[in-house]
Amino acid sequence: MDRKKFLKKGLVGMGTIVAIPTLLASCSSDDDGNNDNNPNACETSPAETAGPFPIMTPVDLVRENIIGDRSGIPLLIQFTIKNTNSNCTSLQGALVDIWHCDAKGNYSEYSGQLDGDFTNADFLRGRQTTDINGNASFISIYPGWYPGRTSHLHVEIKSSTGSSLLITQVSFPENISSTVYTTTQYNGNADTNNSNDGIVGVGNLADEVTGNNTEGYTLKKVIKVSA
């Protein structure tokens, strides 16, 4: 993806968020990043639960900018999807669905949230198709937290025909989350960290998160599926 085009699209509908991340890496690089304890392993990434707030209609949410009307510190999310059935080469044409909570811990499309009923909203949800290098990117905000969960985002990888290949979650480095949560848009320090979350595994920590509270952050994660 052309960097200027990505920036142009990202600036549409940004609302009240602080700034677009300036630490954009090339969307076309085929990074050999790792998502497990062995950097040379070609093994399927750990599966995690989809619930309790999976996307209702992902086919209707094909978009790069998933912010909607939410505010928070900008986050550029860059996934690289690899196929363990092909020696972990990049998987082109896979559907990547993503969803996560807002700065206050609320999910769209559901009622009974911390701050009310968001049944008719669709913020912080989206779908992209991987390019020739297995890459898919989203412009979002750094997720907040809600009681009992560490900071995380949900991902489902599907084949080009819509068959589910993997449902997983990605957690964030605690030192960065702690820095983000000092800002007024968030709820302060989380009550749960990565070590006692009990759901997202250590193998699903983001491969890399860079940036700062002023310019925003960039998250990179390689996800390996059996396709």
Q: Is residue 141 a contact partner of residue 10, using CB atoms and an 8 Å limit?
A: no
CB atoms within 10 A of CB 57: 10
pLDDT band at 17 (very low <50, low <70, confident <90, very high): very low
Which numeric CATH code is attached to 3-25+44-225? Answer: 2.60.130.10
How does pLDDT run across 41-85, given as a tens digit for each residue? 899 999 999 988 998 888 999 999 999 999 999 999 999 999 999
pLDDT of residue 34: 45
pLDDT at position 109: 95
pLDDT tops 60 at residue 20: no
Is the confidence at residue 21, as pLDDT, over 70? Answer: no
Bridge partners for 63 per DSSP? none
- Across the beta sheet with 152-158, the strand order is 125-129, 95-99, 152-158, 164-171
pLDDT at 31 over 50: no
Task: Tell me the average pLDDT across 25-47.
Answer: 60
- Is residue 11 very low, low, confident or very high in pLDDT (cuts 50, 70, 90)? very low
Lowest-confidence segment of 25-29, 106-110, 212-216 by average pLDDT = 25-29
Q: Over the stretch 76-131, which tens digit does the pLDDT of each residue have?
A: 999 999 999 999 999 999 999 999 999 999 999 999 888 999 999 999 999 999 99
Decide: 225 and 89 in contact? Cβ < 8 Å. no
**Sequence ranges of the domains in the chain:** 3-25+44-225
d(CA 92, CA 131) in angstroms, rounded, equals 5
Read off the tokens for 37.
Answer: 């304890």
